[in-house]
């Protein structure tokens, strides 16, 4: 659970033997997509693209390393 304003409620209940653990409302290190962005940035570091199409093609190559496209 995080403590972001939109994510809070007083209507949650859980068994007494469970202790909720709250994380900070801004904790990118706990957000899985941040690991994906970190990987993508490492793959693209130092590359220069003159067109958006070149960037899209390169990004497609990087993403295919993670999840190959189905035929």
pLDDT tens across 21-69, in order?
A: 777 767 767 777 888 899 999 999 999 999 999 999 999 999 999 886 6
For residues 64 and 1, which has the higher predicted lDDT (pLDDT)? 64
Give the residue-averaged pLDDT of 12-24.
79
Q: How far apart are CA 58 and CA 36, in angstroms?
A: 15
CA angle 70, 60, 39 (to 5 degrees): 110
More confident residue, 63 or 13: 63
Q: What is the pTM of this model?
A: 0.55
For residue 71, pLDDT beyond 60: no
């Amino acid at each position: 659970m995080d403590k972001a304003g939109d994510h809070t409620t007083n209507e949650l209940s859980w068994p007494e033997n469970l202790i909720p653990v709250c994380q900070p409302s801004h904790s990118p290190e706990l957000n899985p997509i941040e690991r994906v962005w970190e990987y993508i940035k490492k793959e693209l570091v130092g590359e220069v693209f003159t067109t958006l199409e070149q960037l899209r093609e390169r990004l497609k190559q990087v993403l295919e390393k993670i999840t190959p496209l189905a035929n």
